[in-house]
Amino acid sequence: MVSRLFWTGVCVCLTAASTLAQDPTKVEKSSMHEHPGGVVVILTAAHLRFTDENGKTREVFSKPGEARWYPPFHHRVENLGDTPYDAVYVGIKGMNASNGSKNPMDALDEETSRIVAKLMASAND
Protein backbone atom coordinates (compact mmCIF):
# COMPACT_ATOMS: atom_id res chain seq x y z
CA MET A 1 0.00 0.00 0.00
CA VAL A 2 2.76 2.44 0.98
CA SER A 3 4.74 1.42 -2.10
CA ARG A 4 1.77 2.06 -4.38
CA LEU A 5 1.17 5.47 -2.79
CA PHE A 6 4.87 6.32 -3.17
CA TRP A 7 4.92 5.45 -6.91
CA THR A 8 1.67 7.32 -7.51
CA GLY A 9 3.25 10.38 -5.90
CA VAL A 10 6.37 9.99 -8.07
CA CYS A 11 4.24 9.80 -11.23
CA VAL A 12 2.25 12.89 -10.23
CA CYS A 13 5.45 14.85 -9.54
CA LEU A 14 7.05 13.82 -12.84
CA THR A 15 3.91 14.72 -14.78
CA ALA A 16 3.68 18.11 -13.05
CA ALA A 17 7.37 18.80 -13.67
CA SER A 18 7.12 18.03 -17.39
CA THR A 19 4.02 20.21 -17.69
CA LEU A 20 5.68 23.12 -15.91
CA ALA A 21 8.84 22.70 -17.98
CA GLN A 22 7.01 23.46 -21.25
CA ASP A 23 7.71 26.93 -22.56
CA PRO A 24 4.27 28.44 -23.27
CA THR A 25 5.68 30.52 -26.12
CA LYS A 26 6.83 27.35 -27.88
CA VAL A 27 3.33 25.85 -27.83
CA GLU A 28 1.53 29.09 -28.66
CA LYS A 29 -0.42 28.17 -31.80
CA SER A 30 -3.91 29.17 -32.89
CA SER A 31 -6.50 27.13 -34.70
CA MET A 32 -7.60 28.05 -38.24
CA HIS A 33 -9.65 31.26 -38.14
CA GLU A 34 -10.39 34.35 -40.21
CA HIS A 35 -10.05 38.09 -39.80
CA PRO A 36 -11.66 40.85 -41.79
CA GLY A 37 -9.24 43.09 -43.64
CA GLY A 38 -7.55 45.47 -41.24
CA VAL A 39 -4.45 46.83 -39.60
CA VAL A 40 -2.34 45.11 -36.97
CA VAL A 41 -0.25 47.26 -34.63
CA ILE A 42 2.68 45.34 -33.16
CA LEU A 43 3.26 45.76 -29.41
CA THR A 44 6.08 43.23 -28.90
CA ALA A 45 8.77 41.84 -31.19
CA ALA A 46 7.78 38.57 -32.84
CA HIS A 47 8.78 35.74 -35.12
CA LEU A 48 5.55 34.19 -36.42
CA ARG A 49 4.54 31.52 -38.91
CA PHE A 50 1.25 32.02 -40.75
CA THR A 51 -0.37 29.04 -42.47
CA ASP A 52 -3.26 29.75 -44.85
CA GLU A 53 -6.22 27.47 -45.59
CA ASN A 54 -4.28 25.89 -48.49
CA GLY A 55 -1.35 24.95 -46.23
CA LYS A 56 0.99 27.63 -47.62
CA THR A 57 3.26 29.02 -44.87
CA ARG A 58 4.93 32.39 -44.46
CA GLU A 59 7.26 33.47 -41.67
CA VAL A 60 7.03 37.06 -40.45
CA PHE A 61 9.35 39.08 -38.20
CA SER A 62 7.90 42.19 -36.61
CA LYS A 63 9.09 44.97 -34.33
CA PRO A 64 7.20 46.96 -31.68
CA GLY A 65 5.49 50.01 -33.14
CA GLU A 66 5.09 48.61 -36.65
CA ALA A 67 1.67 48.74 -38.29
CA ARG A 68 0.77 46.46 -41.19
CA TRP A 69 -2.26 46.12 -43.46
CA TYR A 70 -3.68 42.64 -43.97
CA PRO A 71 -6.44 41.78 -46.45
CA PRO A 72 -9.18 39.45 -45.22
CA PHE A 73 -7.87 35.89 -44.94
CA HIS A 74 -8.18 32.51 -43.23
CA HIS A 75 -5.08 31.41 -41.35
CA ARG A 76 -3.44 29.74 -38.39
CA VAL A 77 -0.59 31.50 -36.60
CA GLU A 78 2.25 30.06 -34.54
CA ASN A 79 4.65 32.01 -32.35
CA LEU A 80 8.18 30.81 -33.19
CA GLY A 81 9.86 33.29 -30.85
CA ASP A 82 11.06 32.97 -27.27
CA THR A 83 8.64 35.53 -25.81
CA PRO A 84 4.86 36.04 -25.87
CA TYR A 85 3.50 38.05 -28.82
CA ASP A 86 1.17 41.00 -28.33
CA ALA A 87 -0.52 43.08 -31.00
CA VAL A 88 -3.75 44.96 -31.61
CA TYR A 89 -5.79 44.05 -34.70
CA VAL A 90 -8.26 46.63 -36.00
CA GLY A 91 -10.61 44.97 -38.49
CA ILE A 92 -12.70 46.89 -40.99
CA LYS A 93 -16.39 46.07 -40.66
CA GLY A 94 -17.86 44.39 -43.73
CA MET A 95 -14.48 43.36 -45.13
CA ASN A 96 -14.56 39.60 -44.62
CA ALA A 97 -12.62 36.87 -46.35
CA SER A 98 -15.90 35.17 -47.21
CA ASN A 99 -17.29 38.14 -49.19
CA GLY A 100 -14.27 38.23 -51.49
CA SER A 101 -13.38 41.90 -51.01
CA LYS A 102 -9.61 42.29 -51.31
CA ASN A 103 -9.39 46.05 -51.76
CA PRO A 104 -9.38 47.78 -48.35
CA MET A 105 -10.83 50.95 -49.86
CA ASP A 106 -14.01 49.07 -50.94
CA ALA A 107 -15.23 48.93 -47.34
CA LEU A 108 -14.62 52.61 -46.52
CA ASP A 109 -16.87 55.61 -46.95
CA GLU A 110 -15.60 58.58 -48.99
CA GLU A 111 -14.30 60.64 -46.05
CA THR A 112 -12.49 57.70 -44.45
CA SER A 113 -10.99 56.78 -47.84
CA ARG A 114 -9.50 60.28 -48.14
CA ILE A 115 -8.07 60.12 -44.61
CA VAL A 116 -6.52 56.68 -45.19
CA ALA A 117 -5.08 57.75 -48.55
CA LYS A 118 -3.55 60.84 -46.93
CA LEU A 119 -2.02 58.79 -44.09
CA MET A 120 -0.61 56.22 -46.50
CA ALA A 121 0.90 58.96 -48.67
CA SER A 122 2.54 60.59 -45.64
CA ALA A 123 3.90 57.20 -44.50
CA ASN A 124 5.67 56.81 -47.87
CA ASP A 125 7.47 60.16 -47.47
- Residue 6 φ/ψ, nearest 5 degrees: -60, -50
Q: Read off the pTM.
A: 0.56
Mean pLDDT of 99-111: 58
Of the candidates 94, 91, 45, 95, the residue with the CA atom closest to the CA atom of residue 66? 45
Cα(14)–Cα(82) distance, rounded to whole angstroms?
A: 24
- Kindly report, residue by residue over 45-86, the tens digit of the pLDDT: 999 999 998 999 999 999 999 998 888 888 999 999 999 999
- Pick the closest to residue 46 from 18, 25, 73 (CA basis): 25
Give me the CATH code for the 25-124 domain, please: 2.60.120
Q: Confidence class of residue 3 from pLDDT cuts 50, 70 and 90?
A: low
pLDDT value for 47:
95
Is the separation of the CB atoms in 81 and 36 below 8 Å?
Answer: no
Question: Residue 37 CB: number of other CB atoms within 10 A?
Answer: 23
Q: What percent of the chain has pLDDT over 70?
A: 63
Mean pLDDT of all residues belonging to the chain: 74
- 73, with CB counted inside 10 A (0-12, 13-18, 19+), is middle
* More confident site: 105 or 114: 114
